[in-house]
Amino acid sequence: MKLLVTGGAGFLGARLAREILKKGELNGQKVTALHIADLFPAPADLLADARVKGHTGPMLEQGPLFESGFDGVFHLASAVSGECEQDFDLGMRSNLDSTRCLLEGLRKAGNVPRMVFASSVAVFGPDASNPMPDIVADNTLPSPQTSYGTHKLMIEYLLADFTRKGFIDGRAARLMTVTVRPGKPNGAASSFFSGIIREPLAGVESICPVDENVSHSVSSPNNTIKGLITVFEASREAMQGRLALNLPGLNVTVKEMLKALEEVAGPEVRKHVKFVRNEQIAGIVANWAKGGSAQRAAGLGLHPDASFKEIVKQYIEDCKLPYYPAHALDGLKK
């Protein structure tokens, strides 16, 4: 089968591509070609695989590629939340228009490809007329508070209509906050959910901008990838009518995250985390759901990570991979 991963040069997309190439098949069908479309070139280890073909550039210029007859598509490419808030037009173009270009291309191909769209828990938000529950469920009424969340939600519904019309066989999986992400802290308000684990393990100080009782729904990279692949492989019937579902997340407090870090990596590592409240970030986070549930994903056999300790251990294991920085575990060596 011929697959496409958009955003396949990014952290999650590349990891998904590696996992698919390792599996070698989806739903019992051999993966013969895996195309990666991204603004940036795909990592070298992926491009070295004979099955992989990279396409670098804006999705809006990839129309002919999208029409070329894919059997399956994972659509992860997206401008992120902060970018969309800063540049409204970029968000509309990168998320809404680019996805429409992809959907139209798949429709033109005419072979009704299966497609998984990476949506987000950002479709939910506080709602003065209908309070958001502490735990957002599959059937919680969305109320996005960012352009990013708005685009994700609009695409969920557009994908459902393309599917209803028989143009594609689509489904949308709402990702919880993925942690521990590698790399540098970024401008995202959720950045610290990775930073308070990643930086201490590297022996570097990390600032936690919210208090320790803040609760959030998180998922390890491996569990997130498993979710995307499982949703891809699920039959239409197993999706139970509605095509968008929450992926499972582990609902944890910052305190529990740091306790797990200490249990896995020791008190010296834990001490690298300092609490310095940032009112702006704390304000944003206060508007987020305290946790998520994923009943329909559970029906597909998907469950949250077993514990946050397991998530920390997974990151430590990841750091041994060649594309993780050499100093990533320097904090453990002291």
Tell whether residue 144 is a contact of its own copies (CB under 8 A).
Answer: yes
Tell whether residue 217 is a contact of its own copies (CB under 8 A).
Answer: no
Tell whether residue 134 is a contact of its own copies (CB under 8 A).
Answer: no
Look at the chain and count its residues: 334
Tell whether residue 86 is a contact of its own copies (CB under 8 A).
Answer: no
Tell whether residue 255 is a contact of its own copies (CB under 8 A).
Answer: no
Tell the smallest beta-carbon distance from residue 162 to its own copies (Å). Answer: 9
Question: CA 321 from chain center: how many Å?
Answer: 20
Which residue lies nearer to its own copies by CB, 150 or 220? 150
86, 88, 277, 317: which one contacts its own copies (CB under 8 A)?
A: 88
- Catalytic choice (148, 157, 323, 324): 148
Restricted to residues 152-181, the positions that interact with its own copies (CB under 8 A) are 153-154, 157-158, 160-161, 164-165
- CA dihedral angle for residue 251, residue 253, residue 259, residue 260, rounded to 10 degrees: 20
Omega cis (within 30) before 180? yes
60, 141, 306, 321: which one contacts its own copies (CB under 8 A)?
A: 141
Which residue lies nearer to its own copies by CB, 33 or 92? 92
Tell whether residue 191 is a contact of its own copies (CB under 8 A).
Answer: no
94, 145, 179, 190: which one contacts its own copies (CB under 8 A)?
A: 145
Tell whether residue 286 is a contact of its own copies (CB under 8 A).
Answer: no
- Crossing angle (nearest 10°) for helices 254-265 and 192-201: 20
- CA dihedral angle for residue 197, residue 172, residue 133, residue 255, rounded to 10 degrees: -10
Tell whether residue 143 is a contact of its own copies (CB under 8 A).
Answer: yes
Which residue lies nearer to its own copies by CB, 76 or 159? 159
Tell whether residue 281 is a contact of its own copies (CB under 8 A).
Answer: no
Restricted to residues 289-318, the positions that interact with its own copies (CB under 8 A) are 296
Spatial CA neighbour of 277 closest among 286, 269, 267, 266:
286
What does each C-alpha distance from 264 to 93, 225, 258, 270, 328 come to in angstroms? 43, 23, 10, 10, 15
Tell whether residue 109 is a contact of its own copies (CB under 8 A).
Answer: no
Restricted to residues 13-72, the positions that interact with its own copies (CB under 8 A) are none
Outline where DSSP puts E strands in the chain: 2-6, 25-26, 29-30, 33-38, 52-56, 72-75, 114-120, 135-136, 169-175, 177-178, 206-208, 215-219, 244-246, 250-253, 273-275, 291-292
Give the amino acid at 110.
G
Q: Binding-site residue total for its own copies (CB under 8 A)?
A: 27
User: 3-class SS at 138?
Assistant: coil
Tokens 């429709």 belong to residue = 107
Tell whether residue 94 is a contact of its own copies (CB under 8 A).
Answer: no
Q: Is 148 a catalytic residue?
A: yes
Beta bridge partners of 52: 34
Tell whether residue 79 is a contact of its own copies (CB under 8 A).
Answer: no
* 165/303 Cα distance (integer angstroms): 31
Binding site for its own copies (CB under 8 A): 88, 127-130, 138-145, 147, 150, 153-154, 157-158, 160-161, 164-165, 240-242, 296
Active site residues: 148
